[in-house]
A and B are shown apart, each in its own frame.
Chain A
Amino acid sequence: MSLPFAIIAVLTIAAAVAAMNLRNLVHCALALTVAFAGLAAAYLQLDAQFVGFAQILVYVGAVAILIVFAILLTRGGDTPQQSIFSSSWLAGAAVAVVVFGVLAWTVVNSAASRRELPPQPEATVKQIGDALMTKFVLPLEVVGLLLTAALIGAVIIAMKEDRPELRNHASKNGTKAETSGQIVNRKS
């Protein structure tokens, strides 16, 4: 195997394993960003330049920041003290090992694995744009609709709700008299 591919592969897998094993959540998110960058390098190795740059723009530039913001909004910034793995971690790890075993065995034993490297294809942005507008225009429109729905949906789900029942619920820390007084006031 060529040296650049070996370096990229080792870097990406190390970053992915680190993302799944580190204690601190923000470190996990940063390791995931390194994995994304390694994958973008792999796409560039495979002569898919548009996809490589789109991967950096979308994943490193937006999804990683989204994950980091969500970690901070759910107060995950501190290193947790108790165990980070759930109680059934052995079953999960076993399933993952079995899945990798099956996939690797299939890959190595398939006929496709004996293909040689074809000459470099031409995948200019112009051709991608042409394909998007002629052959793939319906998926393009559907993805646009889906992104709009996801945008609106995410904003509505994560919006802070300002209902009076929630304010009562939150004031349970006060004395009984206060809460019953509030409920009495509301009824009258």
Chain B
Amino acid sequence: MTEAIDQLFVSLKRWIEGFFPEPWRSTISIVLIVVPILVMFGTLFAVATILERKGLGRIQNRYGPNRVGPFGVLQPVADGIKALIKEDVVPYRADKVVHFLAPIALLVPVLLTFAVLPYGRNMVPVDLNAGVLYFFAVGAGTELAVFMAGWSSRNKYSLLGAMRAIAQMLSYEVPLILSAVTVVMIVGSLSTVKIVQAQDFTVRADGSLGLFPNWFVFTPWGLAGFILFTIAGIAESNRTPFDLPEGESEIVAGYFLEYSGFKFALFFMAEYFEMFAVSGMAATLFLGGYGAPLSWLTWIPTWFWFMAKVVAFLALFIWLRGTLPRLRVDQLMNFAWKFMLPMTLINLVAAAIWHFMGPGLARWFVCAALLIVPYFWLAHGLGFGKRLTKRTYRYAE
């Protein structure tokens, strides 16, 4: 029974495919995989906008939008109608072709990254042998689109915002990939399905499942890798506290300054989709993908667990946006190169030591010490441990 619900979408797809004759079957199969993913993430995007605005509002001690429907739930519909009917203003001196192509060039790589995430058991759109590499390779395609958007507007604020965004995305790409490499190293495969299967419950001798799963986040190197991956993922999708390239009070929305109407909605959507993709990959790599957190909860279908983890990440991102202040550009770059990159390299060494020391209690202490000591050294050395002195005031004479 639980197996049937778990494989509900797979059997539904096979049933619909059965109606079509043989030569059409592969095309229909592709359509049946792609359309539900787009619809699901589109709906999640709409839900995320309203969740974000209500959530931010509550954190800032105000109601969010509450006029449009009961408790404001129809706000995304109103936003969508507004985006579609607004006039599309293109600056006179802008480069028309590049200006038009930039939102598309930003959205397409992000949508392509959805193809290797395992949404449930047997529910990967494409089971690539090098799935994780594909994810990061295609994700790197978004940077050039950001440049296209900023440069084609012929506006110095857009160009400045685009340059900062590219520098930020490029710098945080390195810790992102390196913290994923630790997982790949331990599992021995780049395929996302194998990585999720490696984090399954251990089967005891009598066939029953152990209580806790083997999620990598429960190991010292996994926890460090998870934190580093999440921080780098937040920076990759330009969310607060790393949203200087598009901060409204700093640079007047940066690289999508000159975009209005539907193109702006496309940029917005691309940013949220990138957030979902990075959350999905973090859940796959560190939180066990579609696995349940406790063995007596496995009756809940796997696709529910995956979406629950993605929504939990969404809530985390919204919470961070509401509480943390923005980082300055030089603070961002310092953080990426001088703190996160050494920590990811040390994490690699810690994961290797974990693997080679064999099971037991000793490796917990060694790996934890190997990660905590450099953390405090780096933090102290980079000035995070500055002593807070009494505040002094300067008055104009």
Contact = CB atoms under 8 A, between A and B. Distances in A.
A60 B166 CA distance: 13
Contacts of A27: 98
Interface string A153-171: 0000000000000000000
Given A50-B133, A125-B133, A126-B188, A61 B128 contact: no
B190 interface: yes
A24, A61, A68, A125: residue with the most chain B Cβ atoms closer than 10 Å: A61
Interface stretch (A3-11, A51-59, A134-142): A51-59
Contacts of B77: none
A150 to B, nearest CB: 16
B166 A65 contact: yes
A30 B148 CA distance: 9
A65 B165 CA distance: 12
Contacts of B141: 56, 60-61
A10 B134 CA distance: 24
A50 B130 contact: yes
A65 B144 contact: yes
Contact of B140 (A60, A68, A125, A126): A60
Given A65-B143, A65-B144, A65-B170, A49 B130 contact: yes
Nearest to B142: A61
A77 B170 contact: no
Contacts of A26: 98, 151
Contact of B170 (A53, A60, A62, A126): A62
Given A62-B170, A126-B189, A53 B133 contact: yes
B137 interface: yes
B190 A125 contact: yes
Contacts of A69: 166
Contacts of B134: 53
Contacts of A30: 98, 144, 148
A12 interface: no
Nearest to B140: A61
Given A65-B166, A65-B170, A53 B130 contact: yes
B122 interface: no
A74 interface: no
A contacts with B: majority SS: helix
Contacts of A42: none
Contacts of B163: 72
A56 B138 CA distance: 7
A19 to B, nearest CB: 14
A67 B126 CA distance: 33
A104 B163 CA distance: 42
B130 A60 contact: no
Contacts of B98: 26-27, 30
Nearest to A40: B137
A125 B129 CA distance: 8
Interface string A6-48: 0000000000000000001011001001000000000000000
A116 B130 CA distance: 27
A124 interface: yes
A53 B141 CA distance: 11
A57 B188 contact: no
Interface in A58-89: 60-62, 64-65, 68-69, 72, 77
Given A49-B128, A65-B170, A126-B188, A57 B144 contact: no
Given A26-B151, A125-B190, A56 B130 contact: no
A125 B130 CA distance: 7
Contacts of B140: 56-57, 60-62
Given A61-B141, A65-B143, A124 B170 contact: no
A68 B137 contact: no
Interface of B: 95, 98, 128-130, 133-134, 136-138, 140-141, 143-144, 147-148, 151, 159, 163, 166, 170, 173, 188-190
4 nearest CB pairs, A to B = A61-B140, A57-B137, A53-B137, A56-B137
